[in-house]
Structure 1
Amino acid sequence: MEEDYEISTLPNNPIMAQIKAHKEKKTKKSRAKACLFAAVSSTIFTRIMSLKSAKAIWDYLKSEYEGDERIKGMQALNLISEFELQRMKDSETIKDYSDRLLSIANKVRLLRSEFTDSRIVQKILVTVPERYEATITTVENTKDLSKISLAELLNALQAP
């Protein structure tokens, strides 16, 4: 007498393993799409909602927002120009000013352009108001300004 087995009850069934792997892959793809949909604004969502795969959505977003090398180069130049024009306001704190400079520097870095902390240090040293002159002189006498870290400089300038 031949026994009837359901496919799913057979041990180590390769068909069931394939079905399970297919379901897991499909679930991962659906999760990836859901994450991408959740990460964009409603305006962008309406542009990508008809795309079939997470890869298609990712490729669309990448081409739309990354830009080509020439555009990224121009954006970096504009940001560097903006950085160079920055001056500390008399009413501004060192923290606010350094945060503003770091924000611009990080945008440049995101465009894969080199931007060192030493450049920010130099910028701060030459653009802070006169009230910081005594502190800068003290730092200059105790440290090598060409090797001082941004954190060290900011700590010295923020000290009471």
Structure 2
Amino acid sequence: MSFSPPPPPVFAGENYNIWAVKMKTYLQAHDLWNVLQNDAELPPLRANPTIAQIRQHNEDCAKKYKAMSCLQSGVSDVIFTRIMACDTPKEAWDKLKVEFQGSDKTRQINLRRDFENLRRKDSETIKQYADKIMATVNNIRLLGDDFSDQRVVEKVITTLPEKYE
């Protein structure tokens, strides 16, 4: 059975963290994520290579361009202009991360503050409120912060009105 993944997710400038997770999975599905992580130049072919070695070298060289193509296809034209001068997929990925994610530490602090300040509005259902909490928690977790389910439950319990006790 063959698997044909959908086209790459397109990043238009909003929800960078969600796009980054989807793009990472997309690149992994195409066996290109290692290229992005290992930004090393390929060594030249040694003298008198075999046909298999030449093919392998050519495939390895092409992966860099395939990964770059995926990244370029995965951003809107406005975002593309910011990475079009990048020479490697890693350089493009890092540029997008710095510009749209900012400092992980700063984002963690801001998201934790947002979490602490969340309160249920009278017009919100419990589900809407829980969804809002989980969206914030998932963004915190996307940044690699260990955020326990117990803390989430405590937040819900302590911020609901007394009538829900």
- Shorter-chain TM range is 0.5 to 0.7
Identity of aligned residues (%): 47
Distance 1:63 1:90 in 2: 38
Size of the aligned set, in residue pairs, is 118
Q: Measured at CA, do residues 73 and 22 of structure 1 come closer, stay the same or move farther in structure 2, by a change above 3 Å?
A: closer
Distance in 1, matches of 2:111 and 2:89, equals 32
Pair 89,118 (structure 1): closer, same or farther in 2 beyond 3 Å:
same
Which runs of 5 or more residues in structure 1 are unaligned?
1-12, 134-160
Separation in 2, partners of 1:30, 1:73: 32
Report the 3-state secondary structure (helix = DSSP H, G, I; strand = E; otherwise coil) of the residue aligned with 1:30: helix
Residue 94 of structure 2, aligned match among 54, 59, 63: 59
Q: Which residue of 2 aligns with 1:150?
A: none
- TM-score, scaled relative to structure 1: 0.62
Query: What residue in structure 1 maps to residue 59 of structure 2?
Result: 24
Taking the aligned partners of 2:88 and 2:136, their CA distance within structure 1 comes to 35
Structure with bigger RCO (C-alpha 8 Å, 6+ apart): 2
Q: What is the match of residue 161 of structure 2?
A: 129
Q: Tell me by how many angstroms 1:110 deviates.
A: 2.3
In 2 relative to 1, CA 59–128 (structure 1 residues): closer, same or farther, beyond 3 Å?
closer
Q: Does 1:115 align with 2:150?
A: no
More helix as a share of residues: 1
Q: Distance in 2 between matches of 1:14 and 1:73?
A: 48
Matched, 1:81 2:116: no
> Given the alignment, which residue of 44, 47, 50 partners 2:79?
44
Shift of 1:103: 1.0
Note the residue ranges of structure 2 that are not aligned, 5 or more in a row: 1-47
Structure 2 counterpart SS, 1:115: coil
| Cα-Cα RMSD | 2.3
Q: Is this contact kept in 2: 1:90–1:129, CA < 8 A?
A: no
Report the Cα distance in structure 1 between the residues aligned to 2:162 and 2:80, rounded to whole angstroms: 50
Look up the match of 2:42. none
